[in-house]
Amino acid sequence: MLGGASHVTAHTPKNEALDVIEHLVRRIAREAGVDIVGFGDVRAALPPGFGHLPVAISLGVAHPAMRALLEDGALSAQGLERELCDHRDAVGQAKLETGLRRLSSLFRAQGYRYFGCPPECDPMDSPFTSLVARRFSHKAAATCAGLGWVGRHGLLNHPVYGPHVSWATMLTNAPLRTSTPAVVSECGECGRCVAACPAGAISGRVWCREDGMARIVDIERCRKFLDENERATGRRVCGRCAVACATARLAVREG
């Protein structure tokens, strides 16, 4: 049992049980360093064999450069581009992995079923978690939890931090109140990511929930450009669409 955690028993009233579990999940995530927590009903998005885990807990850690921009105002557009050209955040991923481990301990102790989807799971790899990622993504979990929408760049857009969030997901049958899902894009008329893409991979199509995971970005074009970048520079990164999205937020702040 987790130290100091309240235990839910068969005699705990239903509403009280919901409050206790939600409080514990949020506390554990916060203590692990997670910035964003949400609960979504993902039954419509689950791959075969996962129907017994209808709730997704979305965990997000904002990129430190976005915190510097929005909380301290300490970054210029040039500083943002330098910091965000490689979106990977090893510290953020470590926080998410810690959060998943601690939530696993909680659900094991409480007798609930669970499955953790780690951050930055590459569907090109072979582990079982990668097989799940092909059919169920962190984006699906976060949109079901109402934490953001899919931008024209195909990335999850959080309303505060944009696409610069590292995500992890815990699927569970724990009794958690789920939020209203995001159903439409809030990108408006902004098309900075479309113009910024050097591969011409972004169609400009606007996402909506009814489209599910319909392709709005040409993945093969994107992958080809990344391959070329790796051959030329030794680094398989681009991130210009996401940087353009952050620059749009900088323009709003300065405007």
The pLDDT of residue 148 is above 90: yes
Q: What percent of the chain clears pLDDT 70, i.e. is strictly above it?
A: 75
Looking at 36-40, 211-215, 249-253, which range is the least confident one? 249-253
Q: What percent of the chain clears pLDDT 90, i.e. is strictly above it?
A: 50
The pLDDT of residue 183 is above 60: yes
| Inter-CA distances, 16 with 23, 25, 105, 109, 183, Å | 10, 14, 21, 18, 30
Strand-strand pairing, 36-41 and 165-172: unpaired
Tokens standing for residue 123: 């569907």
The pLDDT of residue 39 is above 70: yes
pLDDT confidence bin for 63, thresholds 50/70/90: confident
Confidence (pLDDT) at 128: 46
pLDDT confidence bin for 250, thresholds 50/70/90: low
Q: What is the DSSP letter of 69?
A: I
Dihedrals phi, psi of 79, to nearest 5 degrees: -65, -40
CA dist 162 and 101 (Å) reads 26
Confidence (pLDDT) at 18: 72
The pLDDT of residue 2 is above 70: no
Q: How far is CA 170 from the centre of its chain?
A: 11
- Describe the crossing of helices 240-254 and 77-84 by its angle, rounded to 10 degrees: 150
Domain boundaries, the chain: 14-254
pLDDT confidence bin for 75, thresholds 50/70/90: low
Long-range contacts at 18-23 (CB < 8 A, ≥ 24 apart): 18/175, 18/176, 18/177, 21/110, 21/174, 21/175, 21/176, 22/176, 22/177
- State mean pLDDT over 39-43: 96
pLDDT confidence bin for 93, thresholds 50/70/90: very high
The pLDDT of residue 97 is above 80: yes
pLDDT: which is higher, 128 or 94: 94
Confidence (pLDDT) at 76: 60
Nearest Cα residue to 153 out of 222, 90, 80: 222
pLDDT: which is higher, 9 or 168: 168
The amino acid at residue 11 is H
CA dist 248 and 187 (Å) reads 11
Residue corresponding to tokens 């990977």: 88
pLDDT confidence bin for 87, thresholds 50/70/90: low
Confidence (pLDDT) at 192: 92
CA dist 204 and 93 (Å) reads 30
What is the end-to-end Cα distance of the chain in Å, rounded?
51
pLDDT digits (tens, 9 = 90+) for 198-223: 999 999 999 998 876 567 899 899 98
Residue by residue, DSSP assigns 127-153 as SHHHHHHHHS-HHHHHHHTTS-EE-TT
Nearest Cα residue to 29 out of 120, 105, 88: 105
